[in-house]
Amino acid sequence: MTRIISSILIIRFFLLCINTLLFTILALLFFWSRYTSLNIDYYLMNAWGRSCTFIYGIKRKRTNCFKDKNFVGVYVAPHSSFWDIIILGSELRGFFVSKAEVVKWPIIGLGAKFVRTVFIDREKGISALKSMELASQRIFDSGNSLIVFPEGTRSYEHMQALKAGPFYISFTTGKPIRPVLITYHPRESVVPRKKGNFIKELLTQSMNMQRTTVKVDVLDSIKPQDFKSTDELKKHVFTIMDDKYKNLTA
């Protein structure tokens, strides 16, 4: 019986891979739509995220996700799991900023490339911020937002120090910042204590029989015009996110 259950659970991993490959092909076929007002790549990413959580049986709880459907700006969220990308991609109207190495990942990297992910080479410093600013402005002009994990990497413990990138974009473009918090229960089911290869982590999670619930809290917008500098804006956002996260996990 245990062997049968294990076989059924591992099928989830392969279904997720097939589902991701399917949407990658669709994103490639509809690549041209980003030059129109159709916004198909956003809807593809939304459908991909929802179908992935359905395959893994992840239950969603939302707070204020659709409070302002016309919001155009920068969403910032702490990063603890690969599921953060899947969840936020299907809940928020926006596209991700990602490290350049992701484009080399099998299937996922190709799919990310075709849904307007902004890739940055963090070793290039100021030039990376400038290219990020240009790419961000094109996304804002299309009526979409940026989704950024300002910690720069996944971590089990929160909150970690925030990178300046998304706050620089907000400050220079005048677009508002909107913090987002994701909490999982049970947390250990999808948040590894030790960061590793995403394929290995998904395989491990595929064998998990616990039902996972995810709660998404979208907080109020923060205007960059109310602050004197990028650093001041960043510190303010960190304080709000840190306090809210402690309340949610108390």
Q: Which of the residue ranges 39-48, 98-107, 206-215 would you say has the lowest mean pLDDT?
A: 98-107
- Nearby residues of 103 by Cβ (< 8 Å), 6 or more positions away: 109, 110, 112, 113, 117, 119
By the 8 A CB rule, do 122 and 52 touch? no
Q: How many domains does the chain have?
A: 1
By the 8 A CB rule, do 71 and 145 touch? yes
Q: Other C-beta atoms within 10 Å of 11: how many?
A: 12
Q: Which of the residue ranges 13-27, 101-115, 171-185 would you say has the lowest mean pLDDT?
A: 101-115
- Nearby residues of 55 by Cβ (< 8 Å), 6 or more positions away: 12, 15, 16, 19
Burial (CB count within 10 angstroms: exposed 0-12, middle 13-18, buried 19+), residue 246: exposed
Average pLDDT over residues 186-207: 74
Average pLDDT over residues 210-219: 87
Residues 150-194: tens digit of each pLDDT? 987 777 777 788 888 889 899 889 999 999 999 888 887 777 777
Which of 74, 82, 76, 87 shows the shortest CA–CA distance to 155? 82
The structure tokens listed for 86 are 């899947």
* CA R_g for the chain: 18
Average pLDDT over residues 107-112: 67
Q: What is the pTM of this model?
A: 0.86
pLDDT of residue 237: 93
Q: What number of residues does the chain have?
A: 250
Domain that holds residue 191: 2-249
Average pLDDT of the chain is 81
Name the pLDDT band for 37 (thresholds 50, 70, 90).
confident
CATH number at residue 223: 3.40.1130
pLDDT over 70 at 80, yes or no = yes
pLDDT of residue 174: 92
